[in-house]
Amino acid sequence: MHDATHYRLFANRRLNELASNWLCAFPAGMVTSCYRRGHLPHHVFTNRPNDPYWAKLVEDPAYRFPQSRQSFRRLLLRDLFCLNFGAWRPILRYWTGWGAVIDNREKLLTGSERLQFAAFWLIVAAAAIASGAWLWLIVMWLLPLHTLCLAFMRVRIVAEHNLDDSGPELSHTRHVDASWLERLTLAPLNINYHIAHHLFPSVPLHNLPRLHALLLRDPAFRAQAMLWPRYFGKNDKGLMNSLLR
């Protein structure tokens, strides 16, 4: 869905949206166009007032660092138990399709998108009930989307950008090599190659490792870029360790 947001899944725009929505976005309760509405300005105006992500996060005390380890652990635990859902709602309102299907006064979705989103979830619900798998759908998919997924997302949001810096990409965007477990959970599909993605957002996800390797050949990039081995780790190996006291 992220590549489709940058119109890189298929050259044909209609096919790009249909494939992204039905195979990627709708299953996660999202709609590609909604995500794109905030994501593309984020790339153009990163860490500046016209960046919709930055404008929300910079006002939220939960994203001010450094902060204590106890405070951050509490935030993650509250995410895991869905206790921070109210704080997540302003962001999720513009990513997901649920609210706009019910109330589309802000015109976040077209009529076709609303119909497709509703049709997708009616089909899923009917199939889950007919097969007797409705409990699996709730416990193994919908519940993690609203708990574990939000905790993972919080870590990645914190790691991707230094919100206090509005300078060039190399001064506020971070790259994390990540362990295999971190790549499986926190940063799937090469999203940990965040500097490369911000410098060249038209490069699809499968080419980001090669792009990063090319960038590393530049001594200036190696000297200035914020490159981290892990999200979590001891001493100078863990990015999150450097932000917590």
Picking from 65, 56, 47, 81, the residue whose alpha carbon sits closest to that of residue 240 is 65
Write out the two tokens for 13. Answer: 């725009």
230 close to 27: Cβ distance less than 8 angstroms: no
Picking from 137, 157, 156, 133, the residue whose alpha carbon sits closest to that of residue 145 is 137
Using the structure block, give the residue that is written with the tokens 């992500």. Answer: 53
156 close to 149: Cβ distance less than 8 angstroms: no
Average pLDDT per run of 10 along the chain, which is 245 residues long? 96 97 96 93 94 92 94 96 88 81 83 95 97 96 94 95 89 94 94 96 96 97 95 88 92
Spell out the residues 6+ positions from residue 32 whose beta carbon is closer than 8 angstroms to its own. Answer: 1, 4, 5, 17, 20, 21, 24, 25
pLDDT value of position 152: 96
What is the model's pTM?
0.91
Listed in order, strand segments (DSSP E) in the chain are: 174-176, 226-228
pLDDT value of position 46: 94
pLDDT value of position 167: 84
Facing residues of 176 across strands? 228
Using the structure block, give the residue that is written with the tokens 């097969």. Answer: 131
Rounded to 5 degrees, φ, ψ at 223 are: -75, -35
- Class of residue 111 by CB neighbours under 10 A (exposed 0-12, middle 13-18, buried 19+): exposed
Picking from 104, 105, 122, the residue whose alpha carbon sits closest to that of residue 26 is 122
Spell out the residues 6+ positions from residue 3 whose beta carbon is closer than 8 angstroms to its own. Answer: 9, 204, 205
Which phi-psi region, left, alpha or beta, contains residue 230 (left: φ > 0; alpha: ψ -120 to 50)? beta
pLDDT value of position 81: 94
DSSP letter string, 202-229: TS-GGGHHHHHHHHTTSHHHHHHSEEES
pLDDT value of position 91: 80
pLDDT value of position 89: 84
